[in-house]
Amino acid sequence: MDAEDALAELEELVASARPVPLSMSVMVHRSTLEELVGRLREDLPEEVREARWILKERDDLLEQARIDAQRITADAQAERERLIEESEVAKAAQRRAEEIVEDAREQARVLRLEAEDYVDAKLANFEIALQRTLRTVERGRERLRGRDDQAPPQAADAEDGSSPERTDDARAGDDSAQAEPVVFDQERQHRSG
C-alpha cells in the first residue's frame, strides 16, 4: 500500500465514521487511525528515498555526459592534429577537424540537455505526487480538526475519561493543552527517537 492508498483509506474512515449524536463529531477507532498513520509514516520515507535516487541519477547522467563530451572532444582534437600534419590535405583536414569538434560539442550539449530534461520530468512527476499527498493529508487533518473543534462537552468528557461535572474553565484549559491530536504527538516522538 502506498501513501495515496493510506490517505484515501483515512478519508474513507472519517467519512464513514459513526456520528456522535447531536453534534458534528464522529467516532473513529484509535487503533485503526494509528495503523493508517503508521503506514503513512512507512511509505513517505520510501518516496523521499526515491527523490534522492532521482537526484543521484541526474548527477550520474550529467557526469557521464561530461565524460563523454571530454572524450569526444579529445578524440576530435587528436583527429584534427593528425589531419593537419598531412600537408596535401591540410586545409580540408582542418575544416573536417573543426566540424568534428563542433559536432562533439553539439552532441555533448544535446546529451546534457536530454539528461536535464529527463531528470526534470521525473522530479516534476514526483513533485505532483507529493503535492497530491500533501493536499490529501491537509484535507484529512482539517476534517479531523473540524470535527474535534465541534465536539460537545459531554463527548469530550467521555473521550478523556473525566467526570461530566467538570467546569467549563477546566474543559477550556484541557482543550488549550491538547490543541493537537495525540497521534501527532506520537509522530514527533517517532521523529525525535
pLDDT at position 73 is: 92
Position 163 in a domain: no
pLDDT band at 153 (very low <50, low <70, confident <90, very high): low
- Cβ–Cβ under 8 Å, residues 23 and 37: no
Indicate the pLDDT class of residue 102, thresholds 50, 70 and 90.
very high
Give the mean model confidence (pLDDT) for residues 135-147. Answer: 91
> Which of the two residues, 166 and 55, has the higher pLDDT score?
55
Tell me whether residue 119 is in a domain: yes
- Per the structure, the complete domain to which residue 26 belongs is given by 3-148+179-186
Residue 183 has pLDDT above 70, yes or no: no
Residue-wise burial string across 106-117, b where 16 or more C-beta atoms lie within 10 A, e elsewhere? eebeebbeebee
Whether 64 is in a domain gets the answer yes
Measured CA angle at 141 (ends 180, 145), to 5 deg: 55
Query: Cell 514526483 maps to which residue?
Result: 126
Q: How confident is the model at residue 143 (pLDDT cuts 50, 70, 90)?
A: very high
- Long-range contact set of residues 113-121: C-beta below 8 Å, sequence gap at least 24: 115/58, 115/61, 115/62, 115/64, 115/65, 116/58, 116/62, 118/58, 118/61, 119/54, 119/55, 119/57, 119/58, 119/61
How many distinct structural domains can be found in the chain? 1
Is residue 55 situated within a structural domain?
yes
Q: Is the pLDDT of residue 124 over 70?
A: yes
Q: Does some domain include residue 63? A: yes
How far is Cα 35 from Cα 183, in angstroms, rounded to an integer?
Answer: 10
- Does 173 have pLDDT greater than 90? no
Does a structural domain hold residue 81?
yes
Q: Confirm whether 193 is domain-assigned.
A: no
172 lies in a domain? no
- Work out the average pLDDT over 59-72: 91
